[in-house]
Structure formats: structure tokens, C-alpha cells
Amino acid sequence: MHRAIEPAALFVRPDWYDYVLVRITPDNVQASLDFLQAKWQAFSPERLFEYSFLDENFEILYNSEKNLGRLFSYFTGLAIFIACLGLLGLASFSAGQRTKEIGIRKVLGASVANVLALLSKEFLKLVLVANLIAWPLARYAMNRWLQNFAYRVDTSWWVFALVPLCGTLVIALVTVSTQAIRAALANPVDVLRYE
């Protein structure tokens, strides 16, 4: 569907034919092909019987889009994995820098949820800022790609806003919470022993 469908005129002339379109049932394809080959040889013995299936022809037309989608999926997964590793390292570093603060908060009665909120808040702000930058870029890139098709759909704003925001917030929260929970469950006596 890269080009618009143009008007067509169909007419039948018995002396002009190159192709025959036949719809067959998928029950016994080989028997149908043998029958069609016999009929073709009866009507035009000088021409070779060649056939193709329409669904396979359409499949070939859209192989490039499928390959592009598969490539984007692989690189997206790799980018998410690398981002999670970076976020995990940053959360680990931040929790390590704030161990004394977390220990004091724990001694003063802070719960695991409070420590988790304390450490996750700054990372979630960064994820929100990253989403605000990525939304317009993703929408622009998608609209540019869709311009290559004759028939396309308009994408809603929430496809580029709410769905990725929820996904990135959940991924960031899960990644950061592993380090935050470990820091919150640490014994404050061990951290504050030498203070």
C-alpha cells in the first residue's frame, strides 16, 4: 500500500491472456494445482505453467516493513536493557552515597516505603523529563514513516504519551526499587556504628 489504488478497466479478449486468477480451497492444494496445470496445457500447450499464491506475493511486498519492525524491536530491547543497567548503577551509587541519611531516617522511624519513595522520586522525575523530550520526536518520526503509505491512519496523542510513560515509569520503578529496598532493609546500626 505504498501507492494509491488507481482506477482499472477489465475486459475479456479470448486471444489475449497472460494470467488467470483462480481461487482454490486449502483442503487439497496439490490436487487443485495438478488440475489447473492440466487445463492450462489443454488450452495453451506452448506456454509454461507457472503459478504463485497471492498471499505470498503480498507477503513479499511487506517483508521490508516486517524486517524493519523486527530490527527496531531488537534495538529497542537492547536500549531498554542498557538503560536499565545504567539506571541500576545510578540507583546503587545514589543509595551508597546516602547510606548515612537512610540510616538516620530509619532510626527516626522511616518505613521501607518512605525510603523507597525518597530514592525513587528523583529518578522518576528524570524519566518524566526524558518522556517529555521523546514524545514529540517519536510522533514526528512515526508520521514521517507513515507518509510513505498511500493509506494510513492518524495516531492519537495518547499512543505516544500515556502508553510509553506508564511503561517507562514501571521499568524505572522496578529497576530503582531493587536498590532502594536493599538500602531500606539494611540495618541502620551497621551504617551508623562509627558515627
Range of the domain at 120: 64-192
pLDDT, tens only, 11-63: 777 667 677 888 888 888 899 999 999 988 888 888 888 888 988 888 888 88
5 is a domain residue: no
DSSP string, the chain: --SPPPP-----BTTB-S-------SS-HHHHHHHHHHHHHHH-TTS------HHHHHHHHTHHHHHHHHHHHHHHHHHHHHHHHHHHHHHHHHHHHTHHHHHHHHHTT--HHHHHHHHHHHHHHHHHHHHHHHHHHHHHHHHHHHTTSSS--PPPHHHHHHHHHHHHHHHHHHHHHHHHHHHHHS-HHHHHTT-
24 is a domain residue: no
171 is a domain residue: yes
pLDDT at 77: 93
6 is a domain residue: no
15 is a domain residue: no
Report the share of the chain in percent with pLDDT over 90.
13
| This prediction's pTM | 0.68
Domain total in the chain: 1
Q: Span 173-191, mean pLDDT?
A: 79
